[in-house]
Structure 1
Amino acid sequence: MILNANLPRLIEIARGAGRVLDVGGWYRPLRLATHAMDLQPHATRRLEEALDPGEPERVTAETWTVHDACLAPWPYPDKYFDFVFCSHLLEDVRDPLLVCREMSRVAKAGYVETPSRLREIYCKQRGFRLRRAFGGMPEIGFHHHRWFVEPGWLGPEGGARLLFTAKTAALYLDPAMYLTRAEVGRKLTEAESGLGLFWEGGIEAEERFVDLPEDYRAFKRLALAGLRR
């Protein structure tokens, strides 16, 4: 997780829930989850990097399911879980919309977290120009991620919604599309670096189909103006 400020609330909810599913629970697992689903097997889980190391582990080999999150249906009944936890998975997978639909189907409530779109266009290394000139292109955001993720708005009634925009190699081609540490003048804060969303009932997801280069440039302009306030 990036948003450690959300951990106390997450742990409190998970402690009080009868069934908790950790989607993608192999790396940095939630010990309070009662079930987990991941492509990797239970025996190889990274338990030493658990998010809640002081808690008893509730997942067992029997409640660990090896399954591709982008294949529906997941092997659980509707609303089987009281809570579902999905941290730093949606930005990676090929079909995050399907993952959101399945989370909404199998769980009554949940928490999702991804890097913010701002963090995905930010290079945290100092000396960007020198590094680019002599050592190759520094990493901008996280090079292996497929999606920018942003919060959406469902109108006055509220609700949980995520917007997904394809993250492509075009980001590296034009300085007008990404942010350097010199431009910002500092590191990003925790709150600026992550997107965390608690939801109940369901979570909606939508892919944005836009002119990607123009959208990338427009996002940087708005982001930089906000950071300079």
Structure 2
Amino acid sequence: MYKIAVCDDEEPVISQVQKLILEWNPETEVSCFSSGEELLQDYRPYHAVFLDIDMKGMNGIETGKALRKIDWEVKIVYLTAYRDYAAGAFSVHAFQYLLKPVNQKSMITTLEEIFRHLKAPRDSVVLDFRTVDGVACLPAEEIYYFEYSNRRVHIVTRAEEYFMVSRIGDVYERMKGHGFSMPHKSFVVNMQHVKNVKGSQIFLDNGIEIPLSQKKQKLWKQALMDYLSKKLEGGRNL
């Protein structure tokens, strides 16, 4: 059973968030608190905590920092009426932040992200990406590729697509240790999902075709062979 806490000093917000959570999964155990002090006093392990930032007494940032001292694993989702609070949320390693009033779509997306992350195998590498819609925690194996276009990076995964502001070179530097390669100046590809290579085209197992730069063909194909050899040898983190 999923266990979620909701902490806000406004009763209508608590009721709305609780309603959205139960609509997503009626069997979820939802505990409600009206202050950070109350949450900390009665705290027990939760999968996630939906936490208001602008509360009377101990605010959400202070409460989040206190939570991190007793539970590093819990996913903290901040509730706020102001976008300016996003930076403060990141300072306590918030999983996500939602603008009030919270709508059903953003709630469902956030809950599914949380529990997809929690269900990932223990030896699976899960990485955080600051997308234009907030933080996305993605298992590396579920990412097909990254594409740079119009000054943004498009992330394509098995379940969702995301956009973030970054340089594709920085993405490659971060991902190359997780079985990703850069066959083209605009693409970083997960070699785990490469199905076939024909000429200047890479075919992924989801049907997508990725261009292979002529200048990179020889080195990239050798990198693919090295990757496959390590995989056959039972190499980890591939």
Q: Tell me if both proteins adopt one fold, taking TM over 0.5 as the criterion.
A: no
When normalised by structure 2's length, the TM-score is: 0.30
Q: Which has the higher helix share?
A: 2
- The structure number with the bigger radius of gyration is 2
Q: Which has the higher strand share?
A: 2
> Which structure ranks higher in relative contact order (CA pairs < 8 Å, sequence separation ≥ 6)?
1
